[in-house]
Amino acid sequence: MGITYMSILARILMLLEQIILIIYYIIVYVIYICNVKQKTMATAIKNIPVLKKDAAHAFTAKIERNVANRSSVDFSKKASIASKILDKAGKF
């Protein structure tokens, strides 16, 4: 049994086919990895708005006024309505 040129050529073609298949898998894997790395950020990070100068002073002044007047708000009417609803429901 001698080795013919056709059998050598067939083996070379099989090896080339396997090498091409391996290269194809490597390329597909690299493309997949690149796509995964690009999609790591699901949502963009948005800037937080910052008040400056006059707007910041007006905002802090309004906060101070509201804190000083928070006891002036009367919730007794709403609290009595809520307690009546809860009494009617049998929960309170």
pTM of the model: 0.36
Q: What percent of the chain has pLDDT over 90?
A: 27
The answer to whether residue 74 scores a pLDDT higher than 70 is yes
Q: Is the pLDDT of residue 23 over 60?
A: yes
Rounded mean pLDDT, 23-52: 79
Q: Tokens 């007006």 belong to which residue?
A: 58
pLDDT reported for residue 17: 93
The average pLDDT across 68-80 equals: 79
For 38-48, the pLDDT digits (tens) are: 555 566 777 88
| Exposure on the CB side of residue 57, measured as CA atoms within 13 A | 2
**What is the pLDDT confidence band of residue 90, given thresholds at 50, 70 and 90?**
confident
Q: Where are the domains of the chain?
A: 1-45, 47-92
